[in-house]
C-alpha cells in the first residue's frame, strides 16, 4: 500500500454527527504495510483525509490548509486560518529553541490543529474526549489519544493565537512525564511571552490572596494537578501560581557571567526532563535543583509547610 492508495473511509466511526477515526485500525494497516521511513507521509495523508471529512460534516465553509509542519482545519481558511498557520510555525521554532532537548514535535505525521468556528462546533467535537458531564469554559485542548492534535475556538485572531501558543506548548511536552503544575506553568509562560498579551501582573494584592488561600487549604490540589480542573477560585489561582513558580525557576537558571556559565540552565533542563507526575516532580527537584518543592513554593508564598502529601 502506498500513500496514494490509503483510504481511511472504512476506518471512520460516526459519533455526535462527526467522523471519529479508528486510529487503532489505521495504525495496524500502516505498521503492517508501510516501511517505517515512509510512515510519516502516510500518517499525514490519513490526517488530511480525516480533516476533510470532518470539515464537510461541520460546515462546507471549513477548509484544510497546511504548511511544512502543520495541518489545520480552519473555519476561515483564506483569512484567519492562513495567519494562524504562520503563527503556529513561529511557535514551533521558538519552542524547539527555548526548550531545546525538552520540547519535541515528532508525532505520527504533521501536527494537526482543528480550529472551530464557535463554541457549539467546539463542544460538539471535543465532547467525546471529556469526562461525563464536564464542559466548563474551555477554549482549547491538546488531545493526546489516537492522533494527538489540538482543538480550539475563538472569535478573534489574537484570542486564537493565545490559545494555540498555550496548547502547542502542551503538544511539545506530550512525551514528557512532568507534573501538570510544571507543564501548565511553562504553557502559561510561553503563551504570554510569545503573544505579549495578558501578561501576569503579580501585585501585592494578588500575592496576599495566594498566601491566604493556600495557607488555609494547602497546596495538595496544586501539586497533584486537581486544582487546574476545579471550578472557581482554585483553578485561577493554580494557573497563576504555576506560571509564577515556572518564571522563578527560569530566572534562577539563566546563564551567568555574560552567558559563559551555563550550569544552572543545564540543571534546570535536566529537571524538566526528569520531573515526574507520580511524585509531583519532588525527586527531580532535589536531584537537579537541590531544593524541595516546599522551598520552591516558599520563594513566593513565604515560610510554611508547602510540601505535597505523597
pLDDT tens digit string along 25-34? 999 999 999 9
Which of residues 175, 195, 215 is at a domain's end? 175
What whole-number distance in Å separates Cα of residue 235 and Cα of residue 233?
5
From CA 99, how far away is CA 97, in angstroms rounded?
Answer: 6
Residue 83 pLDDT greater than 70, yes or no: yes
Q: Is residue 197 very low, low, confident or very high in pLDDT (cuts 50, 70, 90)?
A: confident
- Using CA atoms of 136, 234, 145, 94 in order, give the dihedral in degrees to the nearest 10: 110
**Least confident segment among 120-124, 131-135, 166-170:** 131-135
> Residue holding cell 502542551?
170
Does 308 have pLDDT greater than 60?
yes
Judged by DSSP in three states, 113 sits in strand
Above pLDDT 70, what percent of the chain? Answer: 95
The C-alpha angle 37, 40, 42, rounded to 5 degrees, equals 100
| Residue pointed to by grid coordinates 512525551 | 175
Task: List beta partners, residue 152.
Answer: 115, 140
CA 99 – CA 160 distance, rounded (Å): 22
Q: Are 159 and 225 within one domain?
A: no
The answer to whether 71 touches 112, Cβ cutoff 8 Å, is yes
Q: How confident is the model at residue 301 (pLDDT cuts 50, 70, 90)?
A: very high
135 assigned to some structural domain: yes
In terms of Cβ atoms closer than 10 Å to its own Cβ (0-12, 13-18, 19+), residue 297 is buried
Q: What pLDDT is recorded for position 10?
A: 93
* Structural domain boundaries, residue 83: 3-175
Distance between CA 247 and CA 307 in Å, rounded? Answer: 19
- Checking if the pLDDT of 207 tops 70, the result is yes
Q: What burial class does residue 193 get, using C-beta atoms within 10 Å of its C-beta: 0-12 exposed, 13-18 middle, 19+ buried? A: middle
For residue 136, pLDDT beyond 90:
no
Residue 65 has pLDDT above 80, yes or no: yes
> Mind listing the pLDDT tens digit for each residue in 283-300?
999 999 999 999 999 999
**Domain check: are 208 and 274 in the same one?**
yes
Once rounded to an integer, what is the mean pLDDT over residues 56-72? 96
Whole-number average pLDDT of the chain: 92
Q: Is residue 1 scored above 60 in pLDDT? A: no
Residues 9 and 143 in one domain: yes
Cell 487546574 belongs to residue: 228
Task: Report yes or no on 256 lying in a domain.
Answer: yes
Residue 212 and residue 161 in one domain: no
Alpha helices in 196-262 (DSSP H): 204-217, 220-224, 233-252
Q: What band does 234 get if pLDDT is binned at 50, 70 and 90?
A: very high
Please check whether residues 27 and 168 belong to one and the same domain: yes
Q: Are residues 169 and 218 in the same domain?
A: no
What pLDDT is recorded for position 255? 74
Query: CB of 65 within 8 A of CB of 85?
Result: yes
Q: At what angle do helices 180-195 and 80-98 cross, to 10 degrees?
A: 120
Task: Give residue 258's pLDDT.
Answer: 57
Tell me if 141 is assigned to some domain: yes
* Residue 13 DSSP one-character state: E
Decide: residue 175, CB within 10 A, 0-12 exposed, 13-18 middle, 19+ buried: middle
Residues whose CB is less than 8 angstroms from the CB of residue 89 and which lie 6 or more positions away in sequence, other chains included:
67, 68, 69, 70
148 and 210 together in one domain: no
Q: Picking from 40-49, 56-65, 228-237, 252-261, which range would have the lowest pLDDT averaged per residue?
A: 252-261
**In the predicted model, what is the mean pLDDT of residues 114-119?**
96
The answer to whether position 182 is within a domain reads: no
The beta strand positions in the chain, using DSSP E, are 12-15, 18-21, 63-66, 70-74, 111-116, 140-143, 149-153
pLDDT tops 80 at residue 99: yes
**251 confidence band (pLDDT: 50, 70, 90):** very high
User: Is residue 187 in a domain?
Assistant: no
Rounded to an integer, the average pLDDT of 257-269 is 80
Instruction: Please check the confidence at residue 133 and state whether its pLDDT lies above 60.
Output: no
Domain total of the chain: 2
Instruction: Output the pLDDT for position 131.
Output: 72
Q: In this structure, are 161 and 209 located in the same domain?
A: no
Residue 272: C-alpha distances to residues 242, 275, 281 (Å):
14, 5, 9
Say whether pLDDT at 202 is over 60.
yes
| In-domain check, residue 192 | no
Overall average pLDDT of the 263-280 stretch? 95
In the chain, the percentage of residues whose pLDDT exceeds 90 is 83
Q: Is 9 domain-assigned?
A: yes
Whole-angstrom Cα distance, residue 24 to residue 9?
14
- Are residue 163 and residue 14 in the same domain, yes or no? yes
Residues 69 and 155 in one domain: yes
Judgement on whether residues 128 and 209 belong to the same structural domain of the protein: no
Question: Residue 171's domain is classified under what CATH number?
Answer: 3.40.30.160
Amino acid at each position: 500500500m502506498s500513500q496514494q492508495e490509503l483510504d481511511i473511509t472504512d476506518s471512520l466511526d460516526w459519533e455526535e454527527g462527526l467522523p471519529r477515526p479508528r486510529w487503532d485500525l489505521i495504525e495496524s494497516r500502516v505498521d503492517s504495510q508501510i516501511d517505517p521511513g515512509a510512515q510519516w507521509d502516510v500518517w499525514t495523508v490519513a490526517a488530511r483525509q480525516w480533516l476533510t471529512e470532518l470539515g464537510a460534516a461541520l460546515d462546507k465553509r471549513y477548509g484544510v490548509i497546511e504548511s511544512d509542519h502543520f495541518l489545520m482545519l480552519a473555519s476561515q481558511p483564506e483569512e484567519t486560518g492562513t495567519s494562524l498557520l504562520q503563527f503556529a510555525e513561529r511557535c514551533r521554532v521558538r519552542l524547539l529553541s527555548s526548550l531545546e532537548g525538552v520540547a519535541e514535535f515528532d508525532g505520527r505525521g504533521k501536527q494537526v490543529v482543528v480550529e472551530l468556528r464557535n463554541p457549539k462546533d467546539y463542544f460538539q467535537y471535543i465532547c467525546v474526549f471529556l469526562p461525563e458531564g464536564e464542559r466548563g469554559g474551555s477554549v482549547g485542548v491538546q488531545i493526546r489519544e489516537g492522533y494527538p492534535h489540538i482543538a480550539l475556538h475563538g472569535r478573534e485572531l489574537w484570542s486564537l493565537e493565545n490559545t494555540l501558543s498555550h496548547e502547542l506548548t502542551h503538544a511539545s511536552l506530550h512525551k514528557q512525564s512532568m507534573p501538570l503544575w510544571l507543564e501548565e506553568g511553562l504553557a502559561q509562560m510561553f503563551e504570554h511571552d510569545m503573544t505579549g498579551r495578558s501578561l501576569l501582573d503579580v501585585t501585592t494584592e494578588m500575592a496576599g490572596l495566594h498566601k491566604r488561600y493556600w495557607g488555609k487549604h494547602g497546596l495538595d490540589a496544586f501539586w497533584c494537578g486537581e486544582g487546574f480542573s476545579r471550578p472557581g477560585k482554585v483553578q485561577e489561582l493554580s494557573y497563576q501560581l504555576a506560571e509564577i513558580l515556572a518564571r522563578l525557576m527560569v530566572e534562577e537558571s539563566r546563564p551567568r557571567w555574560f552567558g559563559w556559565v551555563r550550569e544552572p540552565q543545564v540543571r534546570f533542563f535536566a529537571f524538566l526532563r526528569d520531573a515526574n507526575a507520580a511524585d509531583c516532580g519532588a525527586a527531580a527537584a532535589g536531584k537537579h535543583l537541590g531544593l524541595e518543592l516546599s522551598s520552591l513554593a516558599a520563594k513566593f508564598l513565604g515560610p510554611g509547610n508547602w510540601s505535597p502529601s505523597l
